[in-house]
Chain A
Amino acid sequence: MSGGVDSAVAAARAVEAGHEVVGVHLALSRMPGTLRTGSRGCCTVEDSMDAQRAANIMGIPYYVWDFSERFKLDVVDDFIAEYAAGRTPNPCMRCNEKIKFAALLEKAMALGFDAVCTGHYASILTDADGNKQLHRAAAWAKDQSYVLGVLTADQINHSMFPLGATPTKAEVRAEAAERGFSVANKPDSYDICFIPDGDTKGWLGERVAPVTGDILDREGNTLGQHDGAVAFTVGQRKGLSIGTPAADGKPRFVLEVRPVTNTVVVGPKEALAIKEIAGNRYTWAGLAPEHPEVAFPCHVQIRAHADPVPAVAQVVSTTAVTGVRGSVELRIIPNEPLAGVAPGQTAVVYVGTRVLGQCTIDRTVSAVPVSVTSASTASASPVPVNA
């Protein structure tokens, strides 16, 4: 119970469904913040009190469990490391994967509980053979199945999402008010819970030392210098500080961040279009497809609030590339090229409303091939820096 309205109503519904429910608030920080207005989803003293008040009203025991050490390692440090590695991580997914449905579930099961019940908007359905499947919530506007895409079959078997069938958030708020929960009108949490002021860039800047490096074009020519590759995200246009305009006069965008060489690659907007994404860290949410190596039609979603797009996915051997025997990746080819894709993001694969699985993107292929002709001429004479 985060102290928000969703988990409070979810708990109340679980109680009414006849389950023996215990409210648990996760302490994710050793230093709970001071009183802040609104919910940040975690760590504040007020949130813990709100969760406890809701538990009191529904008459269930309530405890705070301290996962701050795990959270710091698996979510906060991971977030920093991913950024430092030039990727764009989603800490909420990492929290679901490592904390809520892993460390918490593990501890709860050991203490005699059967399942973790949360206020996520998603549904668990059972197929004809009795296998649990993860599906989108009834209300697509609130659907949170994307951030649950990392759940495995075992985790789904021990999860409950009582809000999945609720048509609107307004209904949840009305129900909370009817039940006398003080959190009925509490604002939704937003941003990243461990970055209290919402300034992600500033927060990262304090933790990842920026190192000056080169800005390159797609052909490898140096166009200028940056103050730290970590500060750039794929698709970014502003703040590139390149003196010389592109040959065609069109604006340039960040296409790639390469932390190993500390370089930022820029190019035309068209080059942002991605025709293929792949990742070797993939999971199946429930029963795995019988023949994942055979290309199958699906929809792919690359951000929590992005629209799903039609695609074809398959598991492909990468032994020829990696040299590692048996190495594979989940490869997803959208029917139309996708914009705004960056390594580190999670691609969730749907079949209809069902979440089939996900991969963390570690490779993308641009829809616009690099022109080889311009490469040789420019690279010999680097463009002077003009900050």
Chain B
Amino acid sequence: MVVYLDHAATTPMLPAAIAAYAEAMSVVGNPASVHSQGQNAKRMLEESREIVATSLACDPIEVVFTGSGTEAINLGIKGLYWARAPRRRILVPGGEHHATLDTVEWLAQHDGAVIEWIPLDHDGRIDLDALADAIARDPLDVALVSVIMANNEVGTIEPVAEAAALAAVHGIPVHVDAVAAYGYLPVDFRTLAATGVSALSVSAHKVGGPVGIGALVLGRATTVEPLIHGGGQQRKVRSGTQDVAAAVSFAVAASAITVEQRADSLSPAARGVEAARLAALRDRVIVGVARVAPDAVLNGDPITRLPGNAHFSFPGCEGDSLLFLLDAAGVSVSTGSACQAGVPEPSHVLRAMGRSESESRGALRITLGHSSTDADVDALLAALPAAHAQALAAGMADRVPGR
């Protein structure tokens, strides 16, 4: 029996989403075709768009389906940057996901962008004063601000609305990466847009939908230059035949979010039923880990964090040793940071939070999702003492002594 505690990487597809996906794939028709079968496909697509829009509290026309959350982020950032030429400055917190980091770095290397990294505090929260100062230095030259809604590694929920308000004063568009937040926090585009958010990215497979579809919510008044040119689908912003079956499946997953969380406000205190259930499981993890390893450090904001996220540093242990030992015991977790050829990089998020490189390598991320149960937490906490003791013994064999 394998216990899956890596829902932030991807979460199991909902059975209903799988069934709807398979069924929709058997329906022929390009939604751009004029005939009846095309119209039928178009109907399925637009019904799906409406449901996804509802889950994000936006209008259907504002939902641009993409091939992934990463594509949505690329479209949001590059599209805004190009549409805002000749403005050069991009303001970004240092702990963003690689989809954002690498995109803005590419723009800096190839297209003249000037990146200004906004510092994070010890809990991973964006420094709003620093953002305000950065904007004030030359507001007319700021192309955009991009902020993650909740950090995918350490789980800290960011003050997105406050950040957007700072930019809105100067008419600067704000892109929000809501990939990690979606499904775990209420994502209310209408409310965010009122504070100044122009675009927002999500991904279907983080909420029980399929891999291969994401969405950029693009406010009606917002213009972006497209990344992909062709048939002019989706407001001419994202050409390419639209994936009806993936959209249908995404909609099934999105409708589950809608039911559970729609009544919520943006305040994490007023959680939906599912979020409260996950937070209770997560708190069991946090208490249990503290019992096994009293010196373990919970990274990220202890209160204002994603309900399913528990992220720790274990002094004296390699994150990948713990991962290996827990895997051998049938518990799937993550070190949280990006991998290159299977090697976890030192977490740039922890680095941005002011941790040492050594601390940034000994991390372990445990993330819960819709299929998580008390039994999963029991299994983790049963396997952890032996794994932790052995990982401590293995220590830092792959490190240079004394560093």
- A residues whose Cβ falls under 8 Å from a Cβ of B: 25, 27, 32, 45, 48-49, 52, 61, 63-70, 73, 103-104, 106-107, 110-112
Contact = CB atoms under 8 A, between A and B. Distances in A.
A107 B341 contact: no
B82 interface: no
Most buried by A among B340, B390, B395, B398: B398
13 contacts: A27-B343, A45-B341, A48-B342, A65-B320, A67-B398, A70-B398, A107-B394, A107-B397, A107-B398, A110-B397, A111-B390, A111-B391, A112-B390
Contacts of B343: 27, 32, 64, 66, 68
Given A25-B342, A69-B398, 12 more contacts: A27-B342, A45-B341, A63-B320, A64-B342, A66-B344, A68-B343, A69-B400, A69-B403, A70-B400, A110-B393, A111-B325, A111-B391
B98 to A, nearest CB: 15
Contacts of B393: 110
Contact of B320 (A48, A49, A66): A66
Given A69-B398, A103-B398, A110-B394, A61 B328 contact: yes
B50 interface: no
Interface of B: 320-321, 324-325, 327-328, 340-344, 390-391, 393-395, 397-400, 403
A268 to B, nearest CB: 45
Nearest to A107: B397
A103 B342 contact: no
A196 to B, nearest CB: 15
A47 B250 CA distance: 36
A65 B393 CA distance: 16
A73 B341 contact: no
Contacts of A65: 320, 398
Contacts of B403: 69
A45 B341 CA distance: 6
A69 B343 CA distance: 12
A68 B400 CA distance: 10
The 10 closest A-B pairs by CB, nearest first: A64-B342, A110-B394, A107-B397, A27-B343, A48-B341, A32-B341, A106-B397, A110-B393, A66-B343, A45-B341
A106 B318 CA distance: 14
Nearest to A72: B400
A111 B324 contact: yes
A111 B327 CA distance: 12
B14 to A, nearest CB: 28
A52 B342 CA distance: 10
Contacts of A68: 343
A67 B397 CA distance: 9
Contacts of B320: 63, 65-66
B401 to A, nearest CB: 9
A150 to B, nearest CB: 18
Contact of B399 (A45, A48, A70): A70
B117 to A, nearest CB: 21
B321 A111 contact: yes
A278 B325 CA distance: 45
A348 B321 CA distance: 35
Nearest to B342: A64
Contacts of A67: 398
Contact of A66 (B324, B391, B398, B400): B398
Contacts of B324: 63, 111
Contacts of A66: 320, 343-344, 398
Contacts of A110: 390, 393-395, 397
Contacts of A107: 321, 394, 397-398
B321 to A, nearest CB: 6
Nearest to B345: A30
A107 B317 CA distance: 11
A66 B327 CA distance: 17
A52 B343 CA distance: 13
A27 B390 CA distance: 22
Given A25-B342, A27-B341, A69 B399 contact: yes
Contacts of B400: 69-70, 73
A69 B403 CA distance: 10
Nearest to A99: B398
Contacts of B395: 110
Contacts of A64: 341-343
Contacts of B342: 25, 27, 48, 52, 63-64
Nearest to B344: A66
A103 B399 CA distance: 9
